[in-house]
Structure formats: C-alpha cells, structure tokens
Chain A
C-alpha cells in the first residue's frame, strides 16, 4: 500500500505528500524522537503527536514512508516548508493515537 492509498482508504488529511507513491511497509508510534530513530523501520508509517521541525530531520534520517500526526495536531508553516523541501510525507487525523494506529494496522 502506498502513502496515497493509505491516506485515501482512511480519509486522512494530506498535510503534504511530495512522495505519495512511497510504499508503506509497517507502522510505528512514538513521540520521543531518539526512541523513534532507534526503533522505527524504514518504510513505516510513523504516528506521533510531535509537530516541531525536528520531526522532519528524524524522518529524513530514519526514513519512515510518512509521518501521521494524530489527535488533531497541527503543523507550523516552517515545518511544512521544510518537509516539502526534503520530500517528507505528512498526513494527519483528529483521532487519538490508539484508534488511529488500530485503523492503520487493519489496512496494512
């Protein structure tokens, strides 16, 4: 399943999707950035409530297929521009993290 297909199938908000054809190969949920970098796998959908600019650097290095912001968390214009410039996909949902993870897990 691609990032675009994931967004479509679960009606997730598309915050930015410069690489919608990227394959989603798993999922990881976490807000501690070092923890995520140590444990998330390349290709995962990374579910988090963190929205500062450092998530873009973490995504660039740990290489998840997309970031999915849960709990209705918004994003600053600066973070959005950074994500677009380096090709990081960011989706969003108003659901709480647990419910969102369950729905993502069900379709992967």
Chain B
C-alpha cells in the first residue's frame, strides 16, 4: 500500500511554552486513525524530542509526518547550527543545551537517544552552519 496521509507543522523557535503542540496534535490524529497506543506513544515521544531540540538549538524548523498503512515516517528539518559530531550527540548524557534550558528539565542529553530508542530507524543528515534533517520511521 502506498497511500499516504501527510501532516505538516511549522515549529516556532521562540516559544518554549508551546513546544510539543505539534506532537500532541499528531497524537490525536493517530488516535483518530485507530493506531495502537504503543505506536502513538513511540511516534509522539520521538517527535516531541525533535521539537524540543529544534526549539533549543535551531530556532525552530518544520516537521512532516507521513502516515502509511504499515509505517509512520517523521521528517524534522531545521536551518540551525548543525551537529558537528553526530556520534557524540547520540551518546546518552551528552548535551550542549544551555543552563536555562536545563533548569526547565531538558538538556539531559537524552533527546536523540530517545528518538532512536522509540523508532525502528533513524537517519541524521547535518551540516555545520546549514542545518539538520532527521528521518525517523516507526513500523506499524
């Protein structure tokens, strides 16, 4: 089956308070479409981590969620500073988030590892000074 439903969101980089709204909306969409709670949780948590990363590091970006019968693709794209060492960034506990972000309970160095943990595949394309695009797939 190649039928696909696309949801597109612009992630506001200035508003830390509203961060997560796209993920919450995706959760509702997937629930309405009849996906299992576990699939919905995996997609929405992975997407939330990506949203938070874009707000913390990249002044926002965009999120596209493509829903197929057998899988859900999440594509997160930003024009931020890029990730200079992806291998390091993928290590649990490694973070470059500033102190004010840590005081909110983020910046624990768990964002990218959680995105990997909750998805079946994850690919990061990043160029320093240009931006980052992350492709994630959750199989249904």
A contacts with B: majority SS: helix
How many chain B residues touch A (CB < 8 A): the figure is: 25
A37, chain B: closest CB distance, angstroms: 5
| Bound CA span A60–B20, Å | 10
A53-96 vs B, CB cutoff 8 Å, 1 = contact: the mask equals 11101101111000000000000001000000010000000000
Whether A57 contacts B105 in the complex (CB less than 8 A), given A32-B110, A63-B37, A86-B24, comes out as: no
How many chain A residues touch B (CB < 8 A): the figure is: 21
The reply to whether A52 and B24 form a contact with Cβ atoms under 8 Å apart is no
B100, chain A: closest CB distance, angstroms: 11
The reply to whether A57 and B24 form a contact with Cβ atoms under 8 Å apart is yes
- For A63, what are the chain B residues with a Cβ–Cβ distance below 8 Å? 37, 41
Q: Which residue of A lies closest to B44 (CB)?
A: A61
The reply to whether B110 and A57 form a contact with Cβ atoms under 8 Å apart is no
Q: Which residue of A lies closest to B26 (CB)?
A: A61
B77, chain A: closest CB distance, angstroms: 21
Q: Would you mind naming 27 contact pairs between A and B with Cβ atoms under 8 Å apart?
A: A31-B105, A33-B104, A33-B106, A34-B49, A34-B106, A34-B114, A35-B108, A35-B110, A37-B49, A37-B114, A38-B45, A38-B114, A54-B17, A54-B104, A54-B106, A57-B23, A57-B24, A58-B20, A58-B48, A61-B20, A61-B23, A61-B24, A61-B27, A61-B44, A61-B48, A62-B41, A63-B41
